[in-house]
Amino acid sequence: MIKISVRDIPSNGLDIDQSIPKEGIGLSSEEADIRSLLNVKARLEKINNVIIADTHIKAEFGYMCARCLQELHSTEERSYKFNFDIDPNTEYIDLGEEIRQEIIMANPARILCNNDCKGICPKCGVNLNTEKCKCT
């Protein structure tokens, strides 16, 4: 979790910048293939009973082509705006949990290395993007 104490947010806002492993916000390897630390930058502002968190994340995400099973990876930056409703008893908010849910929701079900990916030969298993096989 990325636990932020409501009392620590001054009237002019709070900036955070931290790099944490994905497990730090409770992401398992099945939920997201993240190959670097997750960098989280956020600006938090408290306005009456709401905390607004203008959040940017950056990490290297890994994927696997659904056809040829080639490993792909790309460094991605994503931005989110979260609103946390608070009341006078709220001691802290968990920014990490919001980010975790966004990452899981954005996890694509099917990725191709290339729209023209030829895939793998079902008979001999060669990657048809890089090799030709003799199967008919």
Based on CB atoms, which residue is closest to Zn ion, 47 or 135?
135
3-class DSSP state for residue 97?
helix
CA atoms within 13 A on the CB side of 61: 17
> Does 93 contact Zn ion by CB under 5 A?
no
Q: Which residue has the tokens 């009456």?
A: 48
d(CA 86, CA 79): 22
Chain mean position to CA 58: 8
Residue 107 backbone phi and psi in degrees, to 5: -65, 115
Applying CB under 5 A, among 27, 32, 68, 93 the residue interacting with Zn ion is 68
- Residue 74, judged by CB atoms within 10 A of its CB (0-12, 13-18, 19+), counts as exposed
> Does 113 contact Zn ion by CB under 5 A?
yes
> Does 128 contact Zn ion by CB under 5 A?
no
Stretch that binds Zn ion, among 6-14, 35-43, 49-57, 126-134 (CB under 5 A): 126-134
> Does 104 contact Zn ion by CB under 5 A?
no
Binding mask 11-50 for Zn ion (x = CB under 5 A): ----------------------------------------
Based on CB atoms, which residue is closest to Zn ion, 106 or 133?
133
The site for Zn ion (CB under 5 A) is made up of 65, 67-68, 113, 117, 121, 123-124, 133, 135
